[in-house]
């Protein structure tokens, strides 16, 4: 590494560390106070940087919200879930792996999902980010269900219909309603939702 490259690498590392701190602060404050009520100044103060740095490193509040949405929808966990589903031999085993994957995603990013969803009600940019998140989720489901089709989708059920059924049942709002609001807990909610989907899309 040349003398010129060393300072550049240190600057890059510092910038990445700063960005991580700012995104973490935004995640905490958006969750606590809401997207609309959280200012760039408050995020900057929490992260120990200047407001100008928040804009330069992260694109302000909208950039931070997009960064959080990306954390939720493009984490390595998503690819791991797709791989686990692909490795499962039967359609039911693939569905079970997918259900476990949803639980893992919600444990990792449930707070982000709530932040983006709530922000979408009053901010056009957030609404657009939520739409992108939904599209990414459905694209991942198409990959999983296309593989599941060859292993045993019910007669007459298309890939797109199966994607819609899974997307409807396992949306975070549905899952949280069963697990938290109904008091069923994660295990019972997952089992119930999985059975409903299996009855709708798999061969009996």
pLDDT of residue 84: 97
Say yes or no to pLDDT of 9 above 60.
yes
Q: What is the pLDDT of residues 85-139, one digit of tens each?
A: 999 999 999 999 999 999 999 999 999 999 999 999 999 999 999 999 999 999 9
Calculate what percentage of the chain has a pLDDT beyond 90: 86
The answer to which of 13-17, 46-50, 155-159 has the lowest mean pLDDT is 13-17
Segment 147-157 shows an average pLDDT of 86
- Distance (Å, whole) CA 179 – CA 189: 5
- Distance (Å, whole) CA 68 – CA 112: 6
Task: Note whether 147 and 94 are within 8 A (CB).
Answer: yes
Task: Note whether 152 and 92 are within 8 A (CB).
Answer: yes
Segment 17-46 shows an average pLDDT of 96
Say yes or no to pLDDT of 6 above 60.
no
Options 3.40.50.300, 1.10.10.60, 3.30.1280.10, 4.10.640.10; CATH of 5-58: 1.10.10.60
Say yes or no to pLDDT of 71 above 90.
yes
Say yes or no to pLDDT of 1 above 80.
no
Q: Reduced to 3 states, what is the DSSP secondary structure of residue 153? A: strand
Options 3.40.1190.10, 3.40.50.720, 1.10.40.50, 1.10.357.10; CATH of 70-201: 1.10.357.10
pLDDT of residue 115: 97
2 burial type by CB count under 10 A (0-12 exposed, 13-18 middle, 19+ buried) = exposed
174 burial type by CB count under 10 A (0-12 exposed, 13-18 middle, 19+ buried) = middle
Q: What is the mean pLDDT of the chain?
A: 93
pLDDT of residue 34: 96
Domains in the chain: boundaries: 5-58, 70-201
Q: Which of 78, 76, 79, 49 shows the shortest CA–CA distance to 64?
A: 49
CA distances from 182 to 58, 133, 170, 176 (A): 38, 26, 15, 9
Q: What is the pLDDT of residues 159-188, one digit of tens each?
A: 999 999 999 999 999 999 999 999 999 999
Say yes or no to pLDDT of 20 above 60.
yes
């Amino acid at each position: 590494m040349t003398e010129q490259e060393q300072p550049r690498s240190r600057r890059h590392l510092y910038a990445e560390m700063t960005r991580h701190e700012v995104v973490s602060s935004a995640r905490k404050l958006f969750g606590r106070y809401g997207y609309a009520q959280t200012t760039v100044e408050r995020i900057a103060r929490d992260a120990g940087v200047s407001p100008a740095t928040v804009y330069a490193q992260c694109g302000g509040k909208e950039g931070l919200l997009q960064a959080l949405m990306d954390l939720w929808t493009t984490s390595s966990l998503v690819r791991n879930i797709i791989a686990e589903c692909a490795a499962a031999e039967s359609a039911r085993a693939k569905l079970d792996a997918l259900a476990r994957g949803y639980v893992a995603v919600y444990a990792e990013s449930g707070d982000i999902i709530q932040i983006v969803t709530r922000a979408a009600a009053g901010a056009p940019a957030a609404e657009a980010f939520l739409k992108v998140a939904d599209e990414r989720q459905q694209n991942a489901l198409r990959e999983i269900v296309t593989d599941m089709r060859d292993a045993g989708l019910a007669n007459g059920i298309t890939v797109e219909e199966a994607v819609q059924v899974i997307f409807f049942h396992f949306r975070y709002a549905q899952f949280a309603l069963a697990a938290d609001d109904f008091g069923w807990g994660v295990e019972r909610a997952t089992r119930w939702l999985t059975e409903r989907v299996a009855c709708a899309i798999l061969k009996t």
